[in-house]
Amino acid sequence: MSPEALEAALRAIGEERYHILHPFHHMLHGGKLTKGQVQAWALNRYYYQASIPAKDASLIARLPTPELRREWRRRLEDHDGDGVHPGGVERWLALTDGLGLDRDYVVSLKGLLPGTRFAVDAYVQFVRERSLLEAIASSLTEMFSPNIISQRVSGMLRNYDFVTAETLTYFTPRLTQAPQDVAFALSYVKAHADTVEKQEQVLAALRFKCDLLWAQLDALHVAYVEPALPPPGAFRP
What pLDDT is stored for residue 123 in this prediction?
97
CA dihedral 77, 73, 184, 132 (to 10 degrees): -130
For residue range 178-217, what is the model confidence (pLDDT) as tens digits?
A: 788 899 999 999 999 999 999 999 999 999 999 999 999 9
Flag whether the pTM goes above 0.85.
Answer: yes
What pLDDT is stored for residue 61 in this prediction?
94
What pLDDT is stored for residue 35 in this prediction?
97
What distance in Å separates the CA atoms of residue 74 and residue 5, rounded to the nearest whole number?
Answer: 29
For residue range 141-156, what is the model confidence (pLDDT) as tens digits?
A: 999 987 788 888 889 9
DSSP calls for the chain: --HHHHHHHHHHHHHHH-GGGSHHHHHHHTT-S-HHHHHHHHHHHHHHHHHHHHHHHHHHTT--SHHHHHHHHHHHHHHH--SSS--HHHHHHHHHHHTT--HHHHHHTTT--HHHHHHHHHHHHHHHHS-HHHHHHGGGGGGSHHHHHHHHHHHHHHH-TT--TTTTTTHHHHHHHHHHHHHHHHHHHHHH--SHHHHHHHHHHHHHHHHHHHHHHHHHHHHHTSS--PPTTS---
Using 70 as the pLDDT threshold, list the residues of the chain that sit under it: none
What pLDDT is stored for residue 145 in this prediction?
84
